[in-house]
Chains A and B, each alone.
Chain A
Amino acid sequence: MADVVLLDLWVSPFGQRCRIALAAKGVAYEYREQDLSNKSELLLRSNPVHRMIPVLLHGGRPVCESLLIVQYIDEAWPVAPRLLPGDPYARAQARFWADFVDKKIFDCGTRLWKCNGAALEQATRDMIEALGALEAELGGKDYFGGEDLGFLDVALAPFTSWFRTYEQCGGFAIAEHCPGLAAWADRCRGRDAVASALTDPDKVYEFALTLKKKFGDK
């Protein structure tokens, strides 16, 4: 087994966070696509508690939970770019907003493809509000991390592949409500470390439609 292995799923934004972090740090790793309908022995052994991807194996030792994996990568390979800044207050803000992405963006995003009618309208309003909060946090900066990619950029970037899906499901345009965030998304997606990790937005939309068919509200 290679020294660094990532157990992942092609479309997972959580897995993509790890891929971006590894690429940004220039860490060579072996990518292993997982079949979640038939979970591998290695996955079950490495993440017995949640049995979920992503899992990073470094020297055979597993690290689970995407944001924890990203912090681990930042600490185990303390080279530029430093994803979490040195200042404790700035670190706290980055962690707070990454937690916000997990709590709000992923939840609203799920409701956008899953729900219909009034629930869908609420999900749309909630998503616009959440993206607005992130837009305010970005302010006039190029990246959430300042001049370069930081922890929050890595946490949010994979969800930019889902922007088209959110827009189609909710019937709104992100650039209209959050022009700063839309510009950030283009800027981020242009970076090599990010581009190589993300799924094409059209493929994501196709995938979301299959999810809707299987699991969506009737």
Chain B
Amino acid sequence: MAAGDDLKLLGAWPSPFVVRVKLALSFKGLSFENVEEDLGNKSELLVSSNPVHKKVPVLLHNGKPICESMVIVQYIDEAFTGTGPSLLSSDPHERAIARFWAAYVDDKLVTSWVQSFRGKTEEDKSEGTKQMFAALQTLEGALRECSKGEGYFGGESVGLVDVSLGGLLSWLNATEEMSGTKIFDPVKTPLLAAWAERFSELDGAKLALPDKDRMVEFIQKRQAQAAAAAAASQK
């Protein structure tokens, strides 16, 4: 890292979008200052750095803000090309494919997972679960295609899609534990199941991924809060 490179991450530890940025920084071997935001009482710095969305993550590089997790991840890869591995191939078609699957994780997997948790009715929630498993099946095919027999979506080493999906791992592992249903099922999605284990063992991932038990506790607390709020609004 060049002298005078100051990296500050405005984040919230449970957020998979924040975790993505931590993963990218970690894989590139970049040190940064982690600022934990209270999302119920957003800092002046956060609001002024991301006036459009007022959300985490925000990466400040020498004071200049970059917002939106996958924009930040690509920025890290491009601004620090000499440092650590590249997260994207130099081939335009491979780059397009990686960006496609990274976006797919957001469009289909995140959306359906959120619905399975926050759906208004039991029907909504189970539809979300169904779509989540369908998305995982599709990602199994994507992994087969992108890995070319190697261990990651990026091939021999982690790439953009690994970071995009990796950000969700703690949420998905916690969900697995809480529901008792395997999400990365070694029978239904063997490549993904192996990928999840392999990815979690990476030094870079260990630094960035929130602890599963802490995540379970967090989700349970949120569910309790949501239930209490729903009950209160019905009185």
Give B156-179 interface residues, CB cut-off 8 Å to A: none
Contact of A91 among B52, B75, B100 (CB under 8 A): B75
Are B92's CB and A75's CB within 8 A? yes
Closest to B76 in A: A88
Q: State the interface size on chain A (CB cutoff 8 A).
A: 21
A68-B78 contact, Cβ under 8 Å, with A63-B96, A92-B72, A96-B66: no
Task: Give the CA-CA distance A187 to B104 in the complex, in Å.
Answer: 35
Q: Which residues of B contact A64 (CB under 8 A)?
A: 100
Contact of A99 among B66, B68, B104 (CB under 8 A): B68
Are A65's CB and B75's CB within 8 A? no
Are A72's CB and B71's CB within 8 A? no
A25 interfacial contact with B, CB 8 Å: no
B131 interfacial contact with A, CB 8 Å: no
Q: Smallest CB–CB gap between B148 and chain A, Å? A: 15
Q: Smallest CB–CB gap between B181 and chain A, Å? A: 24
| Tally of A-B Cβ pairs under 8 angstroms | 54
Task: Give the CA-CA distance A96 to B68 in the complex, in Å.
Answer: 7
Q: Which residues of A contact B100 (CB under 8 A)?
A: 63-65, 68
Contact of B74 among A58, A65, A95, A133 (CB under 8 A): A95
Q: Smallest CB–CB gap between B50 and chain A, Å? A: 10
A61 interfacial contact with B, CB 8 Å: yes
Q: Which residues of B contact A61 (CB under 8 A)?
A: 93
Q: Which residues of A contact B71 (CB under 8 A)?
A: 92, 95-96, 99
Are B103's CB and A68's CB within 8 A? yes
Q: Which residues of A contact B93 (CB under 8 A)?
A: 58, 61, 63, 72, 76
Q: State the interface size on chain B (CB cutoff 8 A).
A: 21
Q: Smallest CB–CB gap between A52 and chain B, Å? A: 11
Task: Give the CA-CA distance A122 to B193 in the complex, in Å.
Answer: 44
Contact string against A for B residues 102-127, beta-carbon threshold 8 Å, 1 for contact and 0 otherwise: 01100000000000000000000000
Contact string against B for A residues 90-105, beta-carbon threshold 8 Å, 1 for contact and 0 otherwise: 0110011001100000
Q: Which residues of A contact B95 (CB under 8 A)?
A: 71-72, 75
Are A88's CB and B104's CB within 8 A? no
Closest to B72 in A: A92
Q: Which residues of A contact B144 (CB under 8 A)?
A: none
Are B99's CB and A68's CB within 8 A? yes
Task: Give the CA-CA distance A99 to B55 in the complex, in Å.
Answer: 15
Binding site secondary structure of chain A: helix
Give B170-218 interface residues, CB cut-off 8 Å to A: none
B18 interfacial contact with A, CB 8 Å: no
Are B52's CB and A100's CB within 8 A? yes
Contact string against A for B residues 48-88, beta-carbon threshold 8 Å, 1 for contact and 0 otherwise: 00001000000001001011100110110011000000000
Q: Which residues of A contact B72 (CB under 8 A)?
A: 92
Q: Smallest CB–CB gap between B196 and chain A, Å? A: 21
A49 interfacial contact with B, CB 8 Å: yes
Task: Give the CA-CA distance A133 to B53 in the complex, in Å.
Answer: 11
Closest to A63 in B: B96
B138 interfacial contact with A, CB 8 Å: yes
Closest to A76 in B: B92
Contact of B96 among A71, A91, A95, A133 (CB under 8 A): A71
Q: Which residues of B contact A69 (CB under 8 A)?
A: 96
Task: Give the CA-CA distance A64 to B67 in the complex, in Å.
Answer: 24
Q: Smallest CB–CB gap between B71 and chain A, Å? A: 5
7 contacts between A and B (CB under 8 A): A49-B104, A72-B95, A76-B93, A88-B75, A89-B61, A95-B71, A96-B71
Give residues in B with beta carbon < 8 Å to A: 52, 61, 64, 66-68, 71-72, 74-75, 78-79, 92-93, 95-96, 99-100, 103-104, 138
User: With A64-B100, A65-B99, A75-B95 given, can you name 19 additional A-B contacts, CB distance below 8 Å?
Assistant: A49-B104, A63-B93, A63-B100, A65-B100, A65-B103, A71-B99, A72-B92, A72-B95, A75-B92, A88-B78, A89-B66, A89-B75, A95-B68, A96-B66, A96-B67, A96-B71, A99-B71, A100-B52, A133-B52
